Structure 1
Amino acid sequence: IYSLCALMLVINEVSSQSVTVEAAVGDSVILPCSSSHHENVFWQYRDAKTLYDIIDGKENFHDQDGEYRDRVKGFPSEFTKGNYSIRLSDVKLNDAGTYSCKIPNFRTVRVELKVNDVLVCCGAAESFTETSVDLGQNVTLKCEVSVRDVLWFLMKPSEPPVFILRSFSSIILEPDYSNTTFSKTFSLRYNSSLFIHNISTNEFGVYYCSQTQTGSPSDISRGIRLYIQNHSA
């Protein structure tokens, strides 16, 4: 899925190295780290929370902080090549900060993660279409963004936008839901269309899809407003 060779951090043999990466809310991001030394590597957030350990060349999740469970993955097949990068999925605003890849007695690679709140730019899509639905109905919303790797959001009046899920360009990968309960109501169809099952008043509002990683207004679809006749969304 990812070109690991391109993402590997090429660094000189020094004691410390820093790099900055950016991601959007709900995105997945690679935190790079590589070295030709050691089989023990320890990833931490702000030098306090444990994300991912590699001990004797093998993954170890024993001390992993619960906040990162099922969100952090390494690339074991790349360990022998010196690639100790990790993938952090379902990025949240509070994931921003400094991550450290610690290789004892050799090197610490510090990765500064900047998180862009793509939610705020949904409002940049000024126009939207309207779709009338009935309670209990199923409906499919088409994503106008010309990629399959997208984010879906729901906006309601006077409420902050809600990130629903992220789709991936690879058909092998299941969508990432911001809340597991959303999988009971929302799913994906062809070309990253959003399928909504058994609509209730909770699903009324304006839906947007956005291309991942950029979050610029040009990468956001027109909104689709779901409503019932004579019912305020």
Structure 2
Amino acid sequence: MRTFWIFLSLIILFPLSDVSHNNITALPGENVSLPCQVSNMNFTVLNWSRSDLLPQYVFMYKDKKPSSENQHPSFKGRVELAAKHMKDGNISVILKNVTTNDSGTYTCEIIWNRTKLREIISRVNLQVQPGPKAGHKRDGVRILILSALVVLLGLVIVILALRNRKINAEEEPC
């Protein structure tokens, strides 16, 4: 019996599978793939989480479909499987329109069919750098157009003022 407990302790402390670690940097407004890959698709639940969130589920797949049960509100409608049918063991997710609030460490975890044991497959450290958002390019074009209109209006005012001065000069007798 003692051998069993030692073996169990070793498995818990030094799991048989290697947990994949990834670092990803993104800019606000980008869509980001959080990678996770398994070779055995015999699991009942896929869970992507971030430990600093309550509820902490970013994305859950159970009963052979995505579930929004206990999903953190800031991720609703922004997370989906990268491969719709998890082809070739790809259980990565796409996080859409990221913001600096999305920075953190994400964990990909599965629960196995037979044993109901949880296994962490991947950890992804996402860092969203403060910077221009996707819509800022349009804002720059708007500013350029507005500046051009202001310059054009200024030219019209100067031309009208010069024309008015010329007319007044012609009307005055010398």
Same fold (TM over 0.5): yes
Q: Does 1:83 align with 2:90?
A: yes
Q: Which sections of structure 2, spanning at least 5 residues, go unmatched?
A: 1-15, 112-117, 154-174
CA gap of 1:113–1:51, structure 2 versus 1, over 3 A, is same
Hey, which of these two has a bigger chunk of helix by percent? 2
Q: TM-score, normalised by structure 2?
A: 0.61
For residue 122 of structure 2, what is the aligned residue in structure 1?
Answer: 109
d(CA) in 2 for partners of 1:208, 1:26 = 18
Indicate the structure whose relative CO is greater, using CA pairs within 8 Å and at least 6 residues apart.
Answer: 2
Select which of 143, 146, 165 maps to 1:226.
146
SS at match of 1:67: helix
Deviation at residue 70 of structure 1 after TM alignment:
1.3
Identity of aligned residues (%): 25
Partner of 2:131 in structure 1? 118
Say yes or no: does 1:152 pair with 2:135. yes
Provide the residue aligned with 1:30 in structure 2. Answer: 33
CA-CA distance at 1:76 after TM superposition: 5.5
Q: Which runs of 4+ in 1 moved over 6 A?
A: none
Could you tell me whether the CA contact under 8 Å between 1:47 and 1:100 is conserved in 2? no
Q: Supply the distance in 1 between the matched residues of 2:50 and 2:141 (Cα, whole angstroms).
A: 32
Alpha-carbon displacement from aligned partner over 1:118-173 (angstroms, at most 9, x marks no partner): 32xxxxxxxxxxxxxxxxxxxxxxxxxxxxxx93317xxxxxxxxxxxxxxxxxxx
Equivalent position SS for 1:118:
coil
How big is the shift at 1:50? Answer: 1.1
User: How many residues get paired?
Assistant: 126
Q: Is contact 2:33–2:82 with CA below 8 Å preserved after alignment?
A: no
With the length of structure 1 as denominator, give the TM-score of the two structures. 0.47
Q: Structure 1 residue 46: deviation in Å?
A: 2.6
Which amino acid in structure 2 is aligned with residue 106 of structure 1?
A: E
Gaps of 5+ in 1: 1-12, 120-149, 155-193, 195-205, 210-222
Structure whose CA Rg is larger: 2
- The AA in structure 2 aligned to 1:151 is A
